[in-house]
A = this chain, B = another copy of it.
Amino acid sequence: MTTVPIEALREALVRRLVEAGSSRETAEVQADMLVEAELRGLPSHGALRLNTLRQRIANGVCAPNALGKHSWRGTAWLDVDGESGFGPVVAQHALTAAARRTQETGVCLVTVRTSNHLGMLAWYAEHWARQGYVLIGLTTSEALVHPYGGTSRLLGTNPLTIGVPTADEEPLVVDLATSIVAMGKVHDYAGRGQALEPGWARDAQGRATTDAVAARSGAIAPFGGAKGYALGLGIEVLVTALTGSAIGTSVRGTLDATETASKGDVFILAPARGGALANLLADFLDEVRASDPADPARPVLVPGDRSRAERTRRIAEGVEVRDALWAEISHQNRTEQA
């Protein structure tokens, strides 16, 4: 592993994206998302996505300078054809227009299709909460998750995020996928030859397995049994109904390098009420943190606490990146890239 200062990582990512055809402006937004995922300990959504993004640009399924075509379905519903742009660029462009519109409407619904991978949803919740907005974000992805009581890949990992400003400097940011683990984690376990925990996955034939290699071509379980399945399925159907995206096994382009992105993204944005309410929320979160833990050695955490601590540490110390990946990103040794 190489420890890379985050500014060096960000600048190298921007350069590689510009080299592939991005404007500096769109490259910076996409690179910021990749760096933030590294900072928060979500490397599956970080620098390793660069190569796929570059391949997607080369293959004509990512248009690095597209901002998305906006049409309004009513005064408070912004519907976006992402024109195969970078997910974060199209989403932030739309959310900026939506935020402006909420001055009149109080709330705005943003629906996006044909846009590339959104990346880590917490990034959006954090950004807009810091601007004073409550945000709900949902996105679908390629089918990797089996139904509760089922065996085949039929659902995306379908994450959701909630962002709420509080009187604290840090907003509340919830970001969770509806799968029990990420497929990236299954790949990590496979790479290390480590067994999965029972109940996490099934193989390509639908048999329960703890073999990470077999699980890579199989399906991951939903989190939380029937309830997590219901939530993930609800997100899949809701997002498709609102965006007109593809659904289930027809979703493409969030993992591969060759197909147009056909998943959908949904955001709901509303300015927070603020005032005394912001203090109430901050006090409540502190009450949760201060409440009696089950294990005295492990204080109760609020969602986002751990990733923020990791972020602070990595801003100071830099980000650990695999040598081959860093060589590729930094152009030190492009012929040996992994």
- A contact set with B: CB distance below 8 Å: 72-77, 102-109, 134, 136, 146-152, 154, 160, 162, 164-166, 172, 174-178, 206, 208, 223-231, 233-238, 240-242, 244, 247-248, 268, 270, 272-273, 277, 280-281, 284-285, 287-288, 291-295, 298-303
CA distance A240 to B288 in the complex (A): 15
CA distance A74 to B291 in the complex (A): 38
CB contacts (< 8 Å) of A298 on chain B: these are 149
Closest residue on chain B to residue A295 by CB atoms: B149
CA distance A75 to B287 in the complex (A): 36
Cβ-defined contact, A242 with B270, below 8 A: yes
CB distance from A163 to the nearest CB of B (A): 9
Partner of A248, one of B229, B247, B284: B284
Q: A105-B105, A149-B295, A303-B233 are in contact. Are A164 and B241 (CB under 8 A)?
A: yes
CA distance A280 to B244 in the complex (A): 10
- Most chain B CB atoms below 10 A, which of A74, A237, A288: A237
Cβ-defined contact, A277 with B234, below 8 A: no
CA distance A242 to B103 in the complex (A): 15
Can you name 28 A-B pairs with beta carbons within 8 Å?
A: A75-B76, A75-B106, A76-B106, A76-B107, A106-B109, A107-B107, A109-B268, A134-B238, A146-B291, A147-B291, A149-B298, A150-B291, A150-B293, A152-B291, A154-B287, A164-B234, A174-B234, A208-B294, A224-B224, A233-B302, A234-B303, A237-B285, A240-B277, A240-B281, A242-B272, A242-B273, A244-B277, A268-B268
CA distance A136 to B238 in the complex (A): 9
* Identical chains bound together, number: 2
Closest residue on chain B to residue A153 by CB atoms: B291
Cβ-defined contact, A106 with B134, below 8 A: no
CB contacts (< 8 Å) of A165 on chain B: these are 241
Closest residue on chain B to residue A222 by CB atoms: B224
CB contacts (< 8 Å) of A174 on chain B: these are 230-231, 233-234
CA distance A223 to B244 in the complex (A): 31
CA distance A229 to B236 in the complex (A): 21
CA distance A301 to B206 in the complex (A): 17
CB contacts (< 8 Å) of A228 on chain B: these are 223-224, 227-228
CA distance A285 to B229 in the complex (A): 13
CB contacts (< 8 Å) of A281 on chain B: these are 237, 240-241, 247
CB distance from A32 to the nearest CB of B (A): 24
CA distance A337 to B223 in the complex (A): 43
Partner of A230, one of B108, B227, B299, B303: B303
Cβ-defined contact, A292 with B240, below 8 A: no
CB distance from A271 to the nearest CB of B (A): 9
CA distance A233 to B285 in the complex (A): 9
Given contacts A233-B288, A240-B280, A240-B284, 19 further A-B contacts (CB under 8 A): A76-B105, A134-B241, A147-B288, A147-B291, A147-B300, A149-B298, A154-B291, A162-B234, A164-B234, A164-B238, A172-B237, A175-B230, A178-B227, A224-B227, A229-B303, A230-B303, A241-B277, A248-B284, A248-B287
